[in-house]
Structure 1
């Protein structure tokens, strides 16, 4: 909308001082010709915009001029909570609101504090996406977020590990973890009277979402952050059902936190003293035996599993299979 763009243009000039037409066009995501028209519109409305000619020229406001049009809309105020994570804000459909809110906030600050705020933006950046992994496509995220905010029920088509299901859900909140969005929701009681507990759904697995006219009441005393923390603890307890005793080289000790996350950090904290070869014995929480074998093999020859015997035997079998496979498929050199 042009009124919003004109206000953003005015606030940009107020917050940053002199800016060229191409710089303004890039910030506002419009053409340079549109910037020229908007500058004329500001001047016609009584805003003292000066055009400085030459290589160091650009547009600026008359010295001492400041606008008081800095009131935040509801969406802009809410978007400030995502100010450190512009990517997730964009996913939720709040990217433009966040940019406008930041401009208005800067305009309301004294010059010294506004400069400090810009320096913080220059020095710190939060990237919520995990390394070496593409983020889930989340085409339905904005609609789900709106239903969460409006407390409206959703009719969802969801892909589970065992097939596709249709559910009516009461959406309670959204969580971004490791670059992946999750919906915390309660199945509609009328649809599943015996299954009304709060559950977690991966947003990228929703195949379709419709917002219903029907609203719902949030469970009394429900706190999203507390639910998520408890849910994460339960998941870790379910996954980490066994403890492996592992002997690690100095290099494997450095790799352990990267390969095993929090479980690796805890194992290092309780590590014993190095032996004569510099290797260290640790107790490491691991998942099911099949997963543990795969995870521990990533440490290669830098680790030796000492127990339990069943896990050590499973690793020995896996190593034998790999050795036989590579011996059988070894490339023999041709005749000289």
Structure 2
């Protein structure tokens, strides 16, 4: 299994365009600290790739990943489709950016698909430009091939019923409310290797516990370092947990869980307020002592 880390930042990226916090200011002065929105490219076959989530900077992500470049024929792209873990704008706005494609396959749960089609109206908006085809993202123990002839199997693990703000007032339930935010379990049947990718994590259900215990690689939500970070930074009155993201540090932080796993563990989806965006931060060294990494844009992971 071959994975390419296309981006590692939470919404807004690093630096965020309207923010002058310490981390954003530092990234403006040091390009090495810049981070694109969290995304992952998964090699499905020899010449076909899927990306996980379509972020606002997806075109830049593609340009930064040679494996996703078009060729040799004009407009022939190795990008086969997009797997969506949720319906947040930061993970779906890039769909419109891909409108030049002749057709685009989207893999999502019913809840996410309906939000994109009925609330964002992307199907109607993009109909004059490209053909969107939808495939259901299997939830639970069942897994589906990631494209024709692929040995990679994908399934979803529900981790939160949190809806995006634009769909928060829906009176009808678009599918199971627990299927709004999912983690992905990727398994290579040719090698038996497994990866878990969870860029947004509002809870730690038993199914996730079982999946990470069996995984060879876990790439997890690292939006906030501690639970009080959003309030301390002044941009929210809510805690990290209340915003739908389990913190890294603290008595109920995810670092304690990851440290006990035999898998290679990495954090992604870092908010611009998170000290981990600075490679020299002491929090980076604290995680390293636990055997946990912070994912970097452009990183390649081979399983």
Give the TM-score normalised by the residue count of structure 1: 0.21
Give the TM-score normalised by the residue count of structure 2: 0.22
Which structure: larger Rg?
1
The structure with the greater share of residues assigned to helix is 1
